[in-house]
Amino acid sequence: MIRNTFQFLDKVRLGTEQQWWKLGITDWDNFLKTATIKKVSSDTKEYYNRQIQAAKKALLNNDSSFFIGKLPAKEMWRLYPEFKEETGFLDIETDSYGKITVVGISNYFNTNHFVRGINLEKAAIERELLKYKIIVTFNGGAFDLPKLRKQLGVKMAIVC
């Protein structure tokens, strides 16, 4: 999936990507093999070629962080097939005052729970998060992650 998107390139969004797909440029290799692309200058094409080569190298090196800040947040899901074995699923629960009561982090095989008053600690949660290249949340960008950052000071890797 990630190899079929160009939205990590500067000034390329869904509309441009869809135009390229219609031209048969459906993945990075097609892009690199195409000499010229309508509405893309030769200098820009060469720049994009370098960025695609860098993205290919990042995937080869298992470096999901390459895409942070480059790929729109709503497109981060495209990384999942490449990193599914290194993906953690995170969810939090809060009390009626908005204080975190439980943090759950799972990889489908194992689930770790961090419970207020028992083991809900920044260091423990960060240690668990370090196991993963990607963190998937359930509306977490709007709720879970800000709560974890504000209340516990937790920092984390890529989030989908």
For residues 100 and 148, the answer to whether their CB atoms sit within 8 Å is yes
Q: Which amino acid is at 87?
A: T
| DSSP annotation string for 71-127 | S-GGGGGGGHHHHGGGEEEEEEEE-TTS-EEEEEEE-SS-EEEEETTTT--HHHHHH
pLDDT for 156: 73
Q: What pTM does this model have?
A: 0.82
Task: Select from 3.30.70.870, 2.60.120.10, 3.30.420.10, 1.10.10.10 the CATH code of 81-159.
Answer: 3.30.420.10
pLDDT for 137: 87
CA separation for the pair 40, 99 (Å, rounded): 50
Give the burial class of 7: count Cβ atoms within 10 A of its Cβ; 0-12 exposed, 13-18 middle, 19 or more buried: middle
Please give the chain's pLDDT, 160 residues, in tens.
Answer: 999 999 999 999 999 999 999 999 999 999 999 999 999 999 999 999 999 999 999 999 999 999 988 999 889 889 999 999 999 999 999 999 999 999 999 998 999 999 999 999 999 999 999 999 998 888 777 899 899 999 999 987 666 6
Host H or E run for residue 30: helix 28-33
The fold of 2-61 is DNA polymerase; domain 1 (1.10.150)
Angle at the Cα of 75 from the Cα atoms of 48 and 144, rounded to 5 degrees:
135
Residue intervals of the chain classified under CATH 3.30.420.10 are: 81-159
pLDDT for 73: 83
